[in-house]
Amino acid sequence: MPTDEQDLAFMRVALEEATRAPAIGEVPIAAVVVRGGEILAQAHNYRELWQDPTAHAEVIAIRAAATTLGTWRLTETTLYVTVEPCSMCIGAVILARVPRVVFGAWDRKAGACGSVFDLPAEPRLNHRVLVTGGVLEQESQALIQKFFKELREASPAEKPLSTQ
């Protein structure tokens, strides 16, 4: 599916959300759940602040969207995320019945939408997810690279305990 203006607009919202994460010591990854052109939820990572390995932007946004809609079935939604979802996050997408994911930067170390794994293409799963990757890829990649560059340059007292 070709990228359209709506995809670009919502990816820009995700990128803007991602810029908030470094202020609290989080990697700048963010997700936005949209239905019918309306934002249902948006979030960035909270793994460090909450000390919760499941506090990825996608999971938090999916939970918030489910609460907003009053159902765990997020049919007719699209998840926009700045970085390719990992296996946990795409698993949550599949379980929530999200029909479409649009992401920015590819994750060659943990991505599960074509980089390391391709879970949405797994024919044995009971739900299909249409995935569009590389939307505003350079902008998404630049946020991550800037964060880690600044982290490497920070004094030891300023560095968070974990960088993942």
What residue type is 134 in one-letter code? Answer: G
CA dihedral sign of residues 110, 136, 146, 40 = negative
Q: And the tokens for 56? A: 């990825």
Q: How far is the C-alpha of 49 from the C-alpha of 11, rounded, in Å?
A: 24
Annotated active-site residue in 58, 84, 139, 153? 58
Dist CA 72 CA 126 (whole Å)? 16
Helix/strand/coil for 18 = helix
| Residues ≥6 apart with Cβ < 8 Å to 164 | 27, 47
Task: Go through 87-101 and write b for each residue having 16 or more CB atoms within 10 A of its CB, e for each that does not.
Answer: eebbbbbbebbbbbb
- Based on the residue annotation, tell me whether 137 is a catalytic residue of this protein: no
Catalytic residues: 58
